[in-house]
Chain A
């Protein structure tokens, strides 16, 4: 069996909310799976294998691959779980891509989900870090992100207003997305007046915690064109990790993202990412990342991120819209978050993004971020890859 090209043929998500006491885990999963099957016009019998993921420690239940089969459709099918922290949603997408590209499975269902309402999110995230060396002072995602922002601000003189401008963008975009949790615009003044969580991050600079699920269906090049008229071809994927202990991180630059993006550009022959990429769904858990990480991606030179954001280039209608969905600041069911980026990028390429559609999308990028400084990246394209 040779390598197969892979396309996304359907996506589905729940209507994400801060708390869904009306459903348990498998019921939440089932909503997203049903929605994706409907979008792809398939039944569960058409699915050859399933990849599922979440962060176990948020719900305190392991082995979702086993206990959720009623909801996932995994009864008597090949099903595996992948979990990589914040990157889980993007990792399961990459895992699904690998299964289809390998030629072993024609059609694969990928499911990411989380019920963040079921535990203390920061306490649970902290358990992903080394208990002997790293947990004493660590305070979940926000502490690491605040440290990154401090390092960047000291280097380039960025301000909290610059960060706030990113929140304003994403929260505005979210109003176009019926699935987003936070669908209300905020102003720069609102962001700066919101409680300081960890200097320089205010409450409105950072993602909420969310209950939600997302599902994506992938098919190989032999069957995808027969199954769907609109396809999102996966051109390249990349995954990068750098540190063992969190003090190893090069704070202020996201080395994993720099490296992942260069691998993607090389594979696809992209020379000028800001011109050749039409839209980015960035796993951007806080506002300052919207400035820093586009520099790491080579969209703008070092130190120029804030200027690019203020120019409106990344707003809807700009040169390179970022997060038409409203992104992670508006919605964050963690195990699903990376897969939602993938699904939203796919919808943009397929022309299915309704009022949040960016015109004429050729290439889209979706990313995943986790463990504070890991990166996953997927390049989506309208044309079938020529390699």
Chain B
């Protein structure tokens, strides 16, 4: 035994229950039931936000108008994750490699984070057009979208 001991915490687990609010709930309901993406538009600067949120931080004003964005969009930026790490969502090693994309859904001003299909890495570029692939059994979470495919 080493002179300097290190004590293992064991398999600690701590579940949480997160509120997503009215706007978040509306987004996930639309996603689940109609496979549609809802953003919100700032009444002052007209910026269209996704995910929808109740306040435009820059104008500090309440947003009320929901607008449909996507489902197609363009890659705003991306990377391909190639190293393994512990996923705090599962406690397991995250499967790598995976395509990590920031997608500008048509009509939105902010970017939407999701997986990008990297079966052909050469096609994964900033500006490439992408479309979502939805889960068959949708539960009203971000996982209702499996990933985005590059559109040729």
Contacts and interface: CB of A to CB of B under 8 A. Distances in A.
Chains A and B form a bound pair: yes
Interface of A: 21-22, 60, 120, 122-124, 126-127, 131-140, 142-143, 146-148, 150-151, 154, 195-201, 244-249, 251-252
21 contacts: A21-B2, A21-B6, A120-B86, A123-B85, A123-B88, A131-B16, A136-B114, A136-B115, A137-B100, A137-B115, A138-B113, A139-B81, A147-B100, A147-B102, A150-B126, A151-B77, A198-B82, A245-B53, A247-B110, A248-B111, A249-B111
Contact of A245 (B16, B101, B110, B114): B110
B110 A143 contact: no
Contacts of A252: 77
A151 B76 contact: yes
Nearest to A245: B51
A262 B143 CA distance: 41
Given A132-B24, A150-B77, A154-B126, A196 B82 contact: yes
Contact of A247 (B12, B86, B111): B111
Q: Residue among A120, A137, A197, A245 with the most chain B CB within 10 A?
A: A137
B89 interface: yes
Q: Residue among B16, B83, B101, B125 with the most chain A CB within 10 A?
A: B83
B85 A199 contact: no
A131 B82 contact: no
Given A22-B4, A132-B142, A143-B79, A244 B100 contact: no
B77 A139 contact: no
Contact of B76 (A127, A197, A199, A251): A251
Contact of B18 (A120, A132, A137, A197): A132
Given A198-B80, A198-B100, A132 B20 contact: yes
A344 B54 CA distance: 42
B113 A247 contact: yes
B79 A198 contact: yes
B12 to A, nearest CB: 8
B91 to A, nearest CB: 9
Given A137-B113, A146-B100, A245-B51, 13 more contacts: A21-B2, A60-B9, A120-B85, A120-B86, A131-B18, A137-B114, A138-B113, A139-B94, A139-B100, A143-B100, A147-B102, A197-B83, A245-B113
A247 B77 contact: no
B49 to A, nearest CB: 8
B24 to A, nearest CB: 7
A245 B51 CA distance: 8
Contacts of A197: 81-83
Contacts of A196: 82
B152 interface: no
Nearest to A146: B79
Nearest to B6: A21
Contacts of B66: none
Interface residues of B, number: 45
A136 B142 contact: yes
B76 to A, nearest CB: 7
Contact of B57 (A124, A126, A151, A244): A244
Contacts of B111: 247-249, 251
Contact of B88 (A135, A198, A248): A135
A249 B77 CA distance: 11
Nearest to B47: A248
A139 B78 CA distance: 12
B142 A140 contact: no
Interface string B139-152: 00111000000000
A276 B59 CA distance: 35
B54 to A, nearest CB: 11
A198 B118 CA distance: 13
Contact of A151 (B18, B24, B53, B126): B126
A4 B27 CA distance: 50
Contact of A147 (B5, B79, B88): B79
A133 B102 contact: no
B134 interface: no
Interface string B104-119: 0000001111110000
Nearest to B19: A132
Interface string B11-49: 010001010100010000000000000000000000001
